[in-house]
Amino acid sequence: MQHHRHLDAPLFPQMSLDHRLIDLLVCPLCKGPLDMLRDPEGRPVALACSHDRLAFPIRDGIPVMLEDEARPLEPTA
């Protein structure tokens, strides 16, 4: 028996981050801990390294842990 995907179902369901796996990730530069950054709706958007002052983006539920893709964190007051 073959299972068919419903035509209205998305090909790729919305991916969510597994926080247990995220807790295992470290900054690729200094190997320090990362903090989750969220948008106003509470969705994860980046993993931030406070030591290096960089935020690594999360795209389609996947952290992009490349230095070239990171953006500088805003200075704190």
Please state the pTM of the whole predicted model: 0.73
Q: Are strands 54-59 and 71-72 parallel, antiparallel or unpaired?
A: antiparallel
What domains appear along the chain, each with residue ranges and CATH number? 31-72 (2.20.25.10)
List pLDDT tens digits, range 48-61: 999 999 999 999 88
List pLDDT tens digits, range 8-51: 544 444 445 567 777 889 999 999 999 999 999 999 999 999 99
* Spatial distance between the Cα atoms of 48 and 8, rounded to a whole number of angstroms: 36
Contact between 5 and 30 under an 8 Å Cβ cutoff? The reply is no
Q: Residue 34 is encoded by which pair of tokens?
A: 């990362």
